[in-house]
């Protein structure tokens, strides 16, 4: 069967890499893709949110299933667009419809959902411009640090955690009265600060049953020792030593099952991934956020640990028969180290020639921001490529990732050398 994969990051390269291992695949198209996805299929110069062009392409290339990588097309309703079209509605889309994508697209929607279905999460209240004064008074009742979240999508920048009351009040005013994040901060969620260690659990569901995929920890800050600005993610490790079987069972009982059952009770269909950002609070999991897609760079460590045919899982989910297929996992550890452009996540340059890719032997390279330029591959984004290795334990996997990262170069390239170090010494 022919597949169309939407997106252009490291996550999508990992999907493309995994899908080409499927016996069910005939031809893979990626829109818009990057220089890495082009090694596994045909890149199509089309935006992942250009729905009319996607329709034409799907019909003229006999596409039998569409996989959506990023949240943007989902929140904008790509799945609903297919269902509303006579010619497209029989084609399964892996990724939820617009309403369910609100689990990521609106913090207020997702908090209400969690409270309605008894999913453990931080206490919260939501404020608008009209209730700004109530919000300022509410802040006075809380202990620092304060967690303020723009309700809508804000390119990963919408969460602010000020440590003083004065800063928190200024931030709330900036978000609500001065539209700091535009329409996204027309509503602001203020919530209780959760202590603990973060990790992410991924679930794949057809809305009827579900599979829990490997858990992962990512490294969000640009600097070693978790310092500096937040990024899209600088590396990841799976499995996570502090998420043992007992912890994952708690996640399943207290979070995954109430979430899937909650969607059913609310009459919200869901086919796709649910990314659950969690805080491990002394052995008790609490939800920080839901995302309606896989994580990046978490996908680059989760998919290499899945032995099963991913396309077979997608096809079964499209028919709401996910329970009929099994999920087999690789018990080894996967690590990924992200190489970024100098200056990222601030201003950075593109178009730097990348060398050494042909010398990498210890890791799989997943391209994120790259493109072909003549015979060369050049950087084309902030996060440029991820080096994923498998090993018996974290150290062995890291050896593979770092050896690869040290082999590849471009002007100004940077990666964190401390990915996974905190987990090496982690003790229960
Ligand atoms: P989010 O976009 O909701 O994932 O938030 C971004 C980051 O802010 C999370 O990865 C956490 O590190 C932090 N964060 C969000 N909510 C909380 C909370 N209630 N308590 C502590 N940290 C939080
Ligand atoms: N790595 C975090 C994310 O994909 O949102």
- The answer on 145 and 91 residing in a single domain is no
Maximal C-alpha separation, the chain: 61
- The answer on 132 and 88 residing in a single domain is no
Counting from 1 in the atom list of ligand 2, the atom nearest the Cα of 298 is 1
User: Is residue 226 within 8 Å of residue 305, measured between CB atoms?
Assistant: no
- The answer on 89 and 152 residing in a single domain is no
In short, whether 171's Cβ falls inside 6 Å of ligand 1 is no
Q: Is residue 425 domain-resident?
A: no
**Residue 375: is it exposed, middle or buried by C-beta count within 10 angstroms (0-12/13-18/19+)?**
exposed
Which ligand is located closest to the Cα atom of residue 202? Answer: 2
Q: What is the pTM of this model?
A: 0.95
DSSP state of 419: T
CA-proximal residue: ligand 1, atom 19 (nearest): 193
SS3 content of the chain, % helix, strand, coil (to 5): 35, 30, 40
Q: At what angle do helices 10-19 and 310-318 cross, to 10 degrees?
A: 90
Q: Is residue 228 domain-resident?
A: no
CA-proximal residue: ligand 2, atom 2 (nearest): 295
CA-proximal residue: ligand 1, atom 11 (nearest): 288
Give me the domain span that covers residue 20: 2-96
CA of 294 to the centre of ligand 2 (A): 8
Q: Is residue 288 domain-resident?
A: no
Provide the pLDDT for residue 182: 86
Closest C-alpha to 36, from 369, 333, 284, 290: 369
- The answer on 89 and 132 residing in a single domain is no
Helix then strand count (H, E) for the chain reads: 14, 22
| Cα distance between residue 111 and residue 80, in whole Å | 23
- The answer on 88 and 132 residing in a single domain is no
User: Is residue 149 within 8 Å of residue 188, measured between CB atoms?
Assistant: yes
> Of 141, 160, 191, which residue sits at a domain end?
191
DSSP secondary structure of 204-218? EE-SS-EEEPPPBEE
CA-proximal residue: ligand 2, atom 5 (nearest): 295
Q: Is residue 14 domain-resident?
A: yes
Q: Is residue 225 domain-resident?
A: no
- Count of domains forming the chain: 2
- The answer on 11 and 83 residing in a single domain is yes
For 211, list phi and psi in degrees, rounded to 5: -125, 130
DSSP state of 414: B
| Cα distance between residue 32 and residue 38, in whole Å | 10
Q: Which regions of the chain are under pLDDT 50?
A: none
CATH code for position 133: 3.30.1490.20
* Residues 205-229 pLDDT 10s: 999 999 999 999 999 999 999 999 8
CATH code for position 78: 3.40.50.20
- The answer on 174 and 137 residing in a single domain is yes
- For residue 299, what is the enclosing H or E element? helix 299-302
> Of 170, 191, 212, which residue sits at a domain end?
191
According to the 3-state scheme, what is the secondary structure of 40-70? CCEECCCCCCCHHHHHHHHHHCCEEEEEECC
Q: Partners of 125 in the beta sheet?
A: 190
- The answer on 154 and 80 residing in a single domain is no
Provide the pLDDT for residue 427: 61
Cα atoms found within 13 Å of the Cα of residue 170, Cβ hemisphere only: 7
DSSP state of 184: G
CA-proximal residue: ligand 1, atom 3 (nearest): 289
**Residue 214: is it exposed, middle or buried by C-beta count within 10 angstroms (0-12/13-18/19+)?**
buried
> Of 48, 78, 96, which residue sits at a domain end?
96
Q: Is residue 377 domain-resident?
A: no
Residues with CB under 6 A from ligand 2: 218, 232-233, 291, 295-296, 298
């Amino acid at each position: 069967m022919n597949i169309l994969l939407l997106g252009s990051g490291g996550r999508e390269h990992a999907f493309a890499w995994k899908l080409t291992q499927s016996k069910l695949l005939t031809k893979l198209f990626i829109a818009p893709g990057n220089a890495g996805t082009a090694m596994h299929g045909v890149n199509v110069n089309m935006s992942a949110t250009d729905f009319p062009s996607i329709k034409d392409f799907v019909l003229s290339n006999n596409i039998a299933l569409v996989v959506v990588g990023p949240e943007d097309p989902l929140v904008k309703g790509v799945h609903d667009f297919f269902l509303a079209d006579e010619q497209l509605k029989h084609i399964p889309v892996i990724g939820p419809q617009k309403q369910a994508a609100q689990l990521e697209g609106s913090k207020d929607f997702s908090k209400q959902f969690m409270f309605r279905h008894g999913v453990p999460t931080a206490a919260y209240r939501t404020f608008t411009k009209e209730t700004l004064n109530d919000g300022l008074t509410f802040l006075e009742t809380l202990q620092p640090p304060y967690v303020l979240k723009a309700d809508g999508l804000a390119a990963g920048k919408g969460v602010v955690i000020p440590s003083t009351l004065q800063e928190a009040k200024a931030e709330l005013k900036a978000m609500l009265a001065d539209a700091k994040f535009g329409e996204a901060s027309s509503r602001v969620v203020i919530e209780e600060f959760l202590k603990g260690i973060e990790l992410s659990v991924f679930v794949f569901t057809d809305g009827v049953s579900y599979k829990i995929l490997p858990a992962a920890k990512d490294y969000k800050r640009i600097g070693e020792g978790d310092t500096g600005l937040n990024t899209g993610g600088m590396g990841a490790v799976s499995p996570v030593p502090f998420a043992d079987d007992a912890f994952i069972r708690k996640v399943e009982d207290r979070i995954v099952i109430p979430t899937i059952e909650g969607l059913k009770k609310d009459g919200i269909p869901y086919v796709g991934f649910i990314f659950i950002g969690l805080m491990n609070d002394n052995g008790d999991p609490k939800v920080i956020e839901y995302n309606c897609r896989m994580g990046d760079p978490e996908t680059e460590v989760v998919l290499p640990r899945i032995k099963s045919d991913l396309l077979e899982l997608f096809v079964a989910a499209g028919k709401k028969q996910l329970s009929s297929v099994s999920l087999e996992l690789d018990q080894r550890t996967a690590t990924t180290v992200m190489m970024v452009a100098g200056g990222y996540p601030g201003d950075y340059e593109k178009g730097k020639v990348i060398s050494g890719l042909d010398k990498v032997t210890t890791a799989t390279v997943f391209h994120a921001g790259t493109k072909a330029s003549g015979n060369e591959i050049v950087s084309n984004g902030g996060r440029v490529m991820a080096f994923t290795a498998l090993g018996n334990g974290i150290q062995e996997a890291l050896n593979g990732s770092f050896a690869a990262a040290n082999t590849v170069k471009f002007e100004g390239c940077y990666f964190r050398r401390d990915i996974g170090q905190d987990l090496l010494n982690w003790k229960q």
